[in-house]
């Protein structure tokens, strides 16, 4: 921290006058001896010598009356008073009072860190160097006057006072002024605003408007006094007698930017003002700063008529130069760009008149040639009529032949359609279908007869096979079929017992029989059966 050097004071009173108090000076009560002695801490006036305080008179020993009480032993010292106990709020408030009185106006240089902006616009940040840091606050009223945008990592110089925030017992610095410590504040603000407006497209060439060829009125925003307005009027009237409408405004100072905006707005509403010149003479960056304000740049961008910026000298650049539709190095050059020169206009008009005459002569000559050719063609009207009559007869003949050929093509086409219709007549199709149906009927009858004959032959063979294998043929030779009462065919004697009823089927009829005890076979049964000859 840096502080203005001050001469050290003598005593608490002098320290308070100089704003340099310490905790001891503020709270240590004066001793009993000090209450009887007054020390003057004021500086001697120039030309006078301060008198030293006279020492107290010294009395001789023989003049002092001794008393035995004076020789008595001293009384024991009084008990020490207990130290004062502060409450938290009382302690913080007392410390704040001392701190604000001691460091009411300090300047600190450091780097911004942790910058944040509250809703009302207050700035909160930490100011730090390589060894320490301190919390800082800058309220919205002071922050609104900044000509640059603070950011983290920026080396700045702060001016303000030290204080303690009682709610948290937090040590902080209330900043009243803030400026860059490296580059100048104006240069930094210029670059920041230039980058912002460039990102928004206000410097784009696509939005810049061309100047009118011959303005009806020339609006000028500048100071009503000085050489700038005189130069513009002189150059404008020398080149072309155009009306110059001045919107007087200051071009330097805190109130310059709002009044420049108001002047641009007024001129933009005046009928007949086709171009506006925003002009000022040269100066330092601080002198030209009104033309670097954001409100001026946006007013130029919103102007309904083109704006020429002619601020400073040729080497001076402002934000208005980048936003304007045209930048002129000087106010005189701006007037030359805005107003054409009458002599040049007359020369241009004369050249245009000569070109017009040449073009008119050339067109007249071409028209005469065309007229001569037409006149030559109409020299003998009968010959022209004969040619037209021959051409007409030729076209009539060609038309007749074309109609005849078209008629023949149509007739041929109709004959072909008639033949196709005859071939596709329904009666012919019905006769053809009937012939096909009769052929199919004959084929079906032949196939049916053939199939029936084949099936009859197969049926005869199957019948012969059934007759050969039929059990009735066996029964005709005297055999019978024996079944039990349950209907089972008896093939073994063991299937039935003595006295069992069986059902016997013979060639002609059937009957029930009872099984008798086994009898010896008869000679006839014992004889082997003769084999029947095969048919």
Q: Assess whether 333 and 276 both reside in one domain.
A: yes
Residue 512: pLDDT above 70? yes
Name the residue range of residue 121's domain. Answer: 88-182
Give a yes or no: residue 161 inside a domain: yes
The encoded tokens of residue 257 equal 């930017």
Q: Assess whether 352 and 330 both reside in one domain.
A: no
Are 191 and 292 within 8 A, CB to CB? no
Residue 41: pLDDT above 50? no
Q: Write down which residue in 164, 182, 200 finishes a domain.
A: 182
Q: Assess whether 170 and 225 both reside in one domain.
A: no
Most confident of 203-217, 365-379, 398-412: 398-412
Q: Write down which residue in 294, 317, 340 finishes a domain.
A: 340
The encoded tokens of residue 153 equal 């990592």
Adjacent-strand bridge partners of 106: 160
Average the pLDDT over each of 41-55, 60-74, 123-137, 343-357 and give the range with the smallest value.
Answer: 41-55
pLDDT cut 90: percent of the chain above it: 30
CATH of the domain at 114: 2.40.50.140
How many domains, the chain? Answer: 3
396 CB contacts (<8 Å, ≥6 apart)? none
Q: Assess whether 330 and 238 both reside in one domain.
A: yes
Q: Write down which residue in 317, 340, 363 finishes a domain.
A: 340
pLDDT cut 70: percent of the chain above it: 81
Residue 478: pLDDT above 70? yes
Average the pLDDT over each of 45-59, 285-299, 494-508 and give the range with the smallest value.
Answer: 45-59
What number is the average pLDDT over the span 329-350? 87
Give a yes or no: residue 30 inside a domain: no
Per-chain mean pLDDT for the chain: 79
The encoded tokens of residue 98 equal 């001392």
Q: Assess whether 98 and 165 both reside in one domain.
A: yes
Q: How far is CA 65 from CA 58, 69, 493, 501, in A?
A: 15, 11, 187, 188
Instruction: State residue 523's pLDDT score.
Output: 56
Q: Assess whether 321 and 222 both reside in one domain.
A: yes
CATH of the domain at 300: 3.40.50.10550
The encoded tokens of residue 49 equal 């010598």
Q: Assess whether 216 and 336 both reside in one domain.
A: yes
| Closest to 477 in 3D by CA, of 535, 529, 519, 528 | 529
Give a yes or no: residue 442 inside a domain: no
| Closest to 332 in 3D by CA, of 239, 216, 209, 268 | 239
Give a yes or no: residue 251 inside a domain: yes
Q: Assess whether 323 and 275 both reside in one domain.
A: yes
Exposure string over 108-142, b if 16+ CB within 10 A, otherwise e: bebbbeebeeeeeeebebbbeeeeeebebbbeeeb
Give a yes or no: residue 504 inside a domain: no
What number is the average pLDDT over the span 373-395? 81
CA 480 to chain centre: 114
Q: Assess whether 261 and 170 both reside in one domain.
A: no
Give a yes or no: residue 196 inside a domain: no
Give a yes or no: residue 53 inside a domain: no
SS (H, E, C) 304-320: CCCEEEEECCCCCCCHH
Task: Kindly report, residue by residue over 94-107, the tens digit of the pLDDT.
Answer: 888 888 889 989 99
Predicted model pTM: 0.43
Residue 11: pLDDT above 50? no
Q: Assess whether 154 and 257 both reside in one domain.
A: no
Give a yes or no: residue 464 inside a domain: no
481-483 and 326-327 beta bridge pairing: unpaired
Task: Let me know how long the chain is.
Answer: 535
Q: Assess whether 257 and 368 both reside in one domain.
A: no
Q: Assess whether 112 and 151 both reside in one domain.
A: yes
């Amino acid at each position: 921290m840096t502080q203005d050097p001050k001469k050290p004071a003598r005593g608490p009173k002098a320290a308070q006058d100089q704003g340099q108090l310490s905790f001891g000076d503020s709270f240590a009560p004066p001793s009993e001896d000090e209450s009887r002695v007054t020390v003057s801490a004021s500086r001697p006036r120039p030309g006078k010598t301060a008198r030293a305080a006279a020492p107290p008179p010294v009395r001789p020993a023989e003049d002092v009356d001794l008393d035995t009480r004076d020789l008595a032993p001293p009384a024991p010292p009084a008990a020490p008073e207990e130290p004062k106990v502060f409450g938290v709020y009382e302690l913080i408030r007392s410390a704040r009072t001392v701190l604000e009185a001691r460091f009411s106006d300090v300047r600190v240089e450091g780097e911004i860190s942790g910058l944040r902006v509250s809703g009302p616009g207050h700035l909160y940040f930490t100011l730090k160097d390589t060894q320490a840091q301190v919390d800082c606050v800058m309220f919205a009223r002071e922050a609104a006057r900044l000509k640059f945008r603070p950011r983290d990592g920026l080396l700045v110089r702060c001016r303000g006072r030290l204080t303690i925030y009682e709610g948290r017992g937090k040590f902080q610095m209330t900043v009243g002024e803030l400026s860059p410590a490296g580059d100048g504040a104006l240069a930094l603000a210029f670059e920041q605003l230039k980058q912002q407006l460039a990102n928004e497209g206000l410097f784009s060439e696509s939005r810049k408007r061309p100047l009118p060829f011959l303005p009806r009125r020339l609006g000028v925003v500048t100071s009503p006094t000085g050489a700038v307005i005189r130069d513009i009027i002189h150059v404008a009237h020398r080149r072309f007698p155009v009306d110059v409408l001045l919107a007087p405004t200051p071009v330097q100072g805190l109130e310059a930017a709002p009044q420049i905006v108001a002047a641009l707005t007024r001129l933009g509403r005046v009928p007949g003002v086709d171009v506006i010149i925003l002009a000022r003479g040269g100066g330092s960056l601080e002198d030209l700063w009104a033309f670097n304000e954001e409100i001026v740049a946006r007013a130029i961008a919103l102007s309904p008529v083109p704006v020429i910026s002619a601020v400073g000298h040729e080497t001076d650049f402002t934000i208005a130069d980048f936003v304007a539709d045209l930048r002129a190095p000087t106010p005189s050059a701006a007037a030359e760009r805005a107003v054409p020169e009458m002599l040049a206009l007359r020369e241009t008009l004369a050249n245009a008149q000569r070109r017009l005459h040449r073009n008119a002569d050339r067109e007249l000559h071409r028209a005469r040639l065309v007229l001569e050719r037409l006149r030559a063609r109409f020299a003998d009207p009968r010959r022209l009529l004969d040619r037209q009559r021959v051409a007409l007869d030729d076209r009539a003949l060609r038309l007749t032949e074309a109609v005849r050929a078209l008629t023949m093509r149509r007739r041929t086409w109709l004959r072909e359609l008639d033949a196709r219709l005859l071939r596709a007549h329904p009666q012919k199709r019905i006769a053809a279908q009937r012939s096909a149906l009769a052929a199919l009927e004959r084929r079906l009858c032949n196939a049916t007869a053939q199939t029936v004959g084949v099936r009859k032959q197969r049926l005869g063979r199957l019948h012969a096979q059934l007759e050969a294998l039929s059990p009735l043929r066996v029964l005709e030779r005297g055999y019978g079929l024996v079944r039990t009462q349950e209907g089972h065919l008896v093939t073994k004697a063991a299937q039935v017992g003595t006295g069992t009823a069986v059902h016997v089927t013979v060639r002609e009829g059937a009957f029930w029989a009872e099984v008798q005890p086994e009898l010896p076979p008869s000679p006839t049964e014992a004889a082997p059966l003769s084999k029947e000859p095969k048919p």
